[in-house]
């Protein structure tokens, strides 16, 4: 026991003489995992011991869990996604075969695939809950504008990632979801043509599948990473959002154990979802036969319904402009509504927000109905 401990120490010191481990570990602090900086002049053990004992007031309270949860889910998606990418072939002829082969033939491939799918759903849910918490808690006041905007943009990026991810298995459901989703977004001025340009066309063929693949595994993850960095950086500057409860003093080490516990239960939850409610594969996509259940994804049903609801004489670009205006209003909310706090009398916008959420839910329901009736 003593020997192994000593050899470990000696290995650490051996490597520490050649490379600054402290510097490498302190790199993690950029992403908020370590809210303090490490003293890179000291050896790693000493620097960590010092950092771990630093007090963290009110860290890891339940409301704050959404932020770290979204980042853990992002990492989890990254790990499982990398595993899937080892086997996946992004061409129209091979995509379905390789995707089903992952789920069927590769050891634990089915579990990794399902876990990736469920994690993406949880990721979207957590991001929505975070935006709602920021809004109803009035947590985007002076100084926190960036946090709000990053949260909104992260959600948008996550939806694009989700949509392109559904396309990759090239089964009928994913394929037609993408076709219907692009019907909604293609009508938007500027954004529509831009997205068409980015993926290289309005159709859906092998080349476009490859582009969505690159978006899914490279462009969007990197963008998300940048957004997470901006978020953590901003939070380090302006501090965590205030909560009403009395501050609890904890050391960083305890907080990190909490994160580990979070990861453990998250994996447990994902495994449970995976085993109990697996996503079945649909039949292979056939551009010539539209399945009856081809409809836009849940988060696009409300814009879809809004576009359908407007009278026919409203030109298409105006409908698109209306949607873009609404999105801009949400994104720039901190500059439109300068008052913070959750006090209803001070912030009547809360009622407007609640109404907007209700409208969104109603429109989603209505969009679902018109799609089912179709």
Give least dist CB 250 to another protein, A.
7
d(CA 157, CA 155): 5
Helices (H) and strands (E) in the chain, counts: 16, 2
- Judged by CB under 8 A, which of 194, 218, 222, 264 binds another protein? 264
As a whole number of angstroms, the distance between CA 352 and CA 273 comes to: 35
Closer CB to another protein, 84 or 301, in the complex: 84
CB 191 within 8 A of CB 185: yes
When the beta carbons of 254 and 322 are compared against another protein, the nearer one is 254
Minimum CB–partner distance for residue 55 and another protein (Å): 4
Helix or strand holding residue 260 (H, E): helix 252-276
In sequence order, the β-bridge partners of residue 57 are: 249
Select the residue interacting with another protein from 11, 14, 27, 265 (CB under 8 A): 265
Smallest distance, another protein to C-beta of residue 332, A = 40
- Does position 285 interact with another protein (CB under 8 A)? The reply is no
13-21, 137-145, 237-245, 269-277 -> range binding another protein (CB under 8 A): 269-277
Per DSSP, the three-state class of 245 is coil
Kindly report the number of other CB atoms within 10 A of residue 253's CB atom. 15
Interface region with another protein, contact rule CB under 8 A, candidates 39-47, 102-110, 330-338, 352-360: 102-110
Q: Which of residues 38-77 bind another protein (CB under 8 A)?
A: 52-53, 55
Nearer to another protein, 294 or 332 (CB): 294
**Positions in 226-255 near another protein (CB under 8 A):** 249-251, 253-254
| H-helix or E-strand spanning residue 363 | helix 349-373
Helix (H, G, I), strand (E, B) or coil at 288: coil
**How many alpha carbons lie under 13 Å from residue 145 in its C-beta half-sphere?**
11
Cα-only R_g, the chain? 23
Output the smallest distance, CB 263 to another protein, in A: 10
How is residue 252 written in tokens?
Answer: 């960083």
Q: Which is nearer to another protein, 87 or 229 (CB)?
A: 87
- Taking the CB of residue 159, how many other CB atoms lie within 10 A of it? 19
Query: Which H helix or E strand runs over 56?
Result: strand 55-57
Q: Which of 26, 98, 100, 307 binds another protein (CB under 8 A)?
A: 100
Instruction: Identify the sign of the CA torsion 203, 184, 324, 118.
Output: negative
Nearer to another protein, 271 or 356 (CB): 271
**Does 282 interact with another protein (rule: CB under 8 A)?**
yes
Residue 330 · residue 152 · CB < 8 Å: yes
Q: Which of 233, 258, 322, 324 binds another protein (CB under 8 A)?
A: 258
- Output 265 or 365, the one with its CB closest to another protein: 265
Report, in Å, the least distance between residue 282 CB and another protein: 7
φ, ψ (nearest 5 deg) of residue 77: -65, -40
103 near another protein (CB under 8 A): yes
Q: Which residues bind another protein (CB under 8 A)?
A: 52-53, 55, 100, 103-104, 110, 249-251, 253-254, 257-258, 260-261, 264-265, 267-268, 271-272, 275-276, 278, 280-283
């Amino acid at each position: 026991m003593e020997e192994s401990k000593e050899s470990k120490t000696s290995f650490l010191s051996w490597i520490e003489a050649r490379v600054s481990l402290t510097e490498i570990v302190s790199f993690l602090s950029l992403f908020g995992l370590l809210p303090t900086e490490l003293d890179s002049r000291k050896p790693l053990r000493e620097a960590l011991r010092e950092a771990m004992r630093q007090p963290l007031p009110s860290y890891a309270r339940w409301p704050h869990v959404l932020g770290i949860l979204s980042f853990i889910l992002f990492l989890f998606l990254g790990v499982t996604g990398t595993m899937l990418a080892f086997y996946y072939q992004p061409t129209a002829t091979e995509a379905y075969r390789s995707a089903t082969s992952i789920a069927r033939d590769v050891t634990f491939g089915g579990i990794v695939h399902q876990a990736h799918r469920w994690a993406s759903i949880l990721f979207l849910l957590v991001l929505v809950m975070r935006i709602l918490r920021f809004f109803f808690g009035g947590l985007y006041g002076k100084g926190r504008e960036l946090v709000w905007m990053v949260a909104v943009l992260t959600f948008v990026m996550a939806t694009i990632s989700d949509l392109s991810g559904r396309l990759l298995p090239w089964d009928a459901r994913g394929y037609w979801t993408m076709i219907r989703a692009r019907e909604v977004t293609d009508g938007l001025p500027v954004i529509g043509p831009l997205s068409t340009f980015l993926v290289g066309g309005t159709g859906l063929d092998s080349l476009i599948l490859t582009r969505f693949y690159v978006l899914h595994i490279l462009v969007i993850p990197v963008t998300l990473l940048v957004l997470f960095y901006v978020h953590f950086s901003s939070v380090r500057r302006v501090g965590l959002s205030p909560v009403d409860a009395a501050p609890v003093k904890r050391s960083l080490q305890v907080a990190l154990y909490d994160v580990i516990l979070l990861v453990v239960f998250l994996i447990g939850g994902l495994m449970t979802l995976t085993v109990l409610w697996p996503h079945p594969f649909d039949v292979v996509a056939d551009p010539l036969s539209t399945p009856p259940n081809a409809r836009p994804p849940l988060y696009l049903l409300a814009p879809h319904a809004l576009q359908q609801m407007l009278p026919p004489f409203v030109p298409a670009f105006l409908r698109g402009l209306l949607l873009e205006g609404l999105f801009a209003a949400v994104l720039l909310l901190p500059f439109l509504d300068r008052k913070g706090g959750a006090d209803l009398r001070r912030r009547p916008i809360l009622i407007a927000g609640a109404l907007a959420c209700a409208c969104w839910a109603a429109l989603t329901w209505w969009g679902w109905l018109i799609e089912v009736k179709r």
